[in-house]
Amino acid sequence: MTAPRQIRVNAFDMNCPTHLVAGTWRDPESRASEYKDLAYWTDLARTCERGLMDGIFIADVLGVYDVFGGSPDGALRGGAQVPVNDPALVVPAMAAVTEHLGFGITASTSFEHPYTFARRMSTLDHLTKGRVGWNIVTSYLESGARNIGLDAQVRHDNRYDIADEYMEVLYKLWEGSWEDDAVVADPARNLYADPEKVHPIEHDGTYFKVPGIHLSEPSPQRTPLLYQAGQSNRGKRFAAEHAEAVFMGAPRPEILRANVDDLRGRLVDAGRDPHDIRVFSSFSVVVAPSAAEAEEKRERYRALIDPEGTLVLWSGWLGYDLEPYDLDEPLRHVPNEAMQSTNEIFGDGRWTVRDFVEGLGFGADGPSATGDPAAVADQIEDWIDTTGADGINLNHVVTQQSYVDFVDLVVPELQRRGRYRTTYEEGTLRDKFFGRGSRLPDTHRAARHRRHPAGAPA
């Protein structure tokens, strides 16, 4: 008999007061408004490592949610992903108080040049000793595009074309520019790096020109662990070619199952193993020692849900204004340049604004389980087993209480069932994910940019 599949867990947070569940920042236990303090992040990191989680994944947007009512006022009132600070800068502090926890940083291929971004990620990979991952996003907020000087957001599929070239530039910098033995650091020879072994990448493409060398010396993973979250047709094609982990949001198991199966099939088409990608699916939990206490807690949280903040977020994701909708009016699929897959999933005529405000309010784009530890563990196991996902991306309802409750109550229950690790694997984040070393495998497209020791392209 084969052992039951281990369930992976990432904590999902954002460097702002309201990430996904609007209104609960007002709960007396919430630490949401402490997001500006290092202690918030170091405490969170310690909790997640105590719970043997794979990592903390920090979402990010550059731009404000101004689709609802055509203004950013609602977002500002609810702290809905604004004010928002840089996700990368909190990582070194968290790394300093942990040993194994991974850090997934979201950054967009649409807003920053790959040359500068490559150095920032290499720096983090050095400082964390190979525990950093990158959530590759192409962005969806029109306001972000305008504030970096574009007249309008680049079209959805074209953003992925640009992202493809962005990745090629990064692979050349991370994998190809410095040979493994380029750093000599020999005081006797007065030689830090051997210039013969550091190569200009000479990239001259459609969107980017980068002639020179990478600024950082090779870090433990070189390329950070690559996460991605697009579920559109074009998004999944991109994932199959680049990603090692994906985030998927789905309100029903059959939707997730179809996306997981589709993605695994595309991996094979791209010459990779169907399990070369770990799938994390959005999930939230309200748990307490007894079912009655959990219900009580859920009711307390539910009373805090802020309808305006909720619709601010959903309008931004869907790319159209929900303000004119009646509570019970079914949503439609409104083609636009924002999140295509989310727009399709929730535009099938079965969802209303009331669902967002009353039901989905807790889970954002995924399910939400309430109950005692056994009931919640049952629901997580069931979700993982019916969908084929590898793990969950744990959305908080109240930060940091949702994570503390999960670690104290759900983790031991999953461990008892043999569905959760009892100790960390050794090595870098990539090692912990796949157990085959710190570097991308030779089957990944990045590998073609590696060099032989002699310096010729491999």
Ligand X SMILES: Cc1cc2nc3c(=O)[nH]c(=O)nc-3n(C[C@H](O)[C@H](O)[C@H](O)COP(=O)(O)O)c2cc1C
Binding site for ligand X (CB under 6 A): 59-61, 106, 108, 137, 139-140, 156, 229-232, 235, 247-249, 282, 339-342, 365, 393
Comparing CB distances to ligand X, the nearer of 178 and 227 is 227
Q: How far is the CB of 248 from ligand X (least distance, A)?
A: 6
Contact 294, 286 (CB under 8 A): yes
Nearest to 200 by CA among 183, 181, 213, 191: 213
Comparing CB distances to ligand X, the nearer of 68 and 160 is 160
* Dihedrals phi, psi of 283, to nearest 5 degrees: -160, 145
Q: What distance in Å separates the CA atoms of residue 297 and residue 277, rounded to the nearest whole number?
A: 35
Comparing CB distances to ligand X, the nearer of 216 and 342 is 342
Beta bridge partners of 391: 8, 280
> Which segments within 53-153 are labelled E, that is strand?
55-59, 102-108, 132-137
CA torsion 228-230-231-233 (nearest 10°) is -110
Contact 90, 38 (CB under 8 A): yes
Q: How far is the CB of 346 from ligand X (least distance, A)?
A: 12
Which residue has its beta carbon closest to ligand X? 235
Comparing CB distances to ligand X, the nearer of 230 and 253 is 230
Q: How far is the CB of 206 from ligand X (least distance, A)?
A: 21
| DSSP state, residue 271 | T
> Which segments within 305-412 are labelled E, that is strand?
330-332, 348-352, 368-371, 391-395
Comparing CB distances to ligand X, the nearer of 178 and 314 is 314
Q: What distance in Å separates the CA atoms of residue 372 and residue 284, rounded to the nearest whole number?
A: 14
Comparing CB distances to ligand X, the nearer of 114 and 220 is 114
Q: How far is the CB of 108 from ligand X (least distance, A)?
A: 6
Amino acid at 88: A
Q: How far is the CB of 86 from ligand X (least distance, A)?
A: 13
Amino acid at 289: P
Q: How far is the CB of 294 from ligand X (least distance, A)?
A: 24
* Dihedrals phi, psi of 333, to nearest 5 degrees: -85, 115
Q: How far is the CB of 176 from ligand X (least distance, A)?
A: 27
Comparing CB distances to ligand X, the nearer of 178 and 317 is 317
Q: How far is the CB of 133 from ligand X (least distance, A)?
A: 13
Comparing CB distances to ligand X, the nearer of 55 and 230 is 230
For 293, residues 6+ apart whose C-beta sits below 8 A from its C-beta are none
Q: Which two tokens stand for residue 325?
A: 């909708």
